[in-house]
Amino acid sequence: MKVGFIGLGIMGHPMALNLAKGGHQLFVYGKRTCPAPVKEAGATVCDTLKAIAEQSEVVIIMVPDTPDVADVLFSPEGVVAGLSRGKLVVDMSSISPIETKEFAKKVAEKGCGYVDAPVSGGEVGAKAASLTIMCGGSQKDFDRVNPLFELMGKNITLVGDVGAGQTTKVANQIIVALNIEAVAEALLFASKAGADPAKVRQALMGGFAASRILEVHGERMIKRTFAPGFRIELHQKDLNLALQGARAMGVALPNTATTQELFNAATPLGGKGWDHSGLVQVLEHLAGHKVAEG
């Protein structure tokens, strides 16, 4: 396929490369510096988002937040300006489910399809093409783009109509955030009590407390590797979507709210750009004790 890819950041860059390795022709945006490996993979660099849409059958968007997607789609030289009947927009960003439905309606007015397909798995999953991809859209549009998804991920699910993918991603981010917080508390407790946190983690990995978060993020907490795979400020954005949605539905999410406050406390500590496993440093600050020394 001729595929437009907009958003060549920490995750978008390897995702685009995996599409190129799969034999698809890429069209990317050249306003900012295009990663050298993407150029070397044969991508065509376009001057405008409109030009990407004009030359592509499918346009994939992978940007940080709801306003970014709106700008990509609807700015004067944006994607929608370059769409023609029969093309397909795939938004793999993590944004508002409510706004997603509105975006899809406007794209449909151009005679084009829309699939929301946010992902989970971070930079590691993007590089390994093992992302979990949560999709919302019609079966027809999903079937059309699924061969592309299979080059980027492993667990690919059409959850429901447009917006269902974003709703699933918000649910995912609630679970991930609360698990990070739980692992951070547990390792902090063990370390403060005098136990070796690395050995505690090793022991817990063999029991009912075992999880991917304990495995990956627990190791980061112990080894003090907080370079961002997924930044705290982005997880704050996702939990904000959860809390806004819950408020609108009259649902209480008390532990989500508490974890969001801990993420908020990372900002004055200089931590909004930390990997979200860096949440442990907020708890360490409150306790006056570190899980491990760097």
Which residues are tagged catalytic? 169
Q: Which neighbouring-strand residues pair with 134?
A: 157
The angle at the Cα of 110, spanning 107 to 111, to the nearest 5 degrees, equals 100
Widest pairwise Cα distance in the chain: 65
Q: Of 74, 141, 60, 81, give the one whose Cα is nearest residue 103.
A: 74
R_g of the chain, CA atoms, integer Å = 20
Classify 116 as helix, strand or coil: strand
Is 19 in contact with 58 (CB distance < 8 Å)? Answer: no
- DSSP state at residue 276: G
User: Residue 163 in 3-state DSSP?
Assistant: coil
Q: Three-state SS for 60?
A: strand
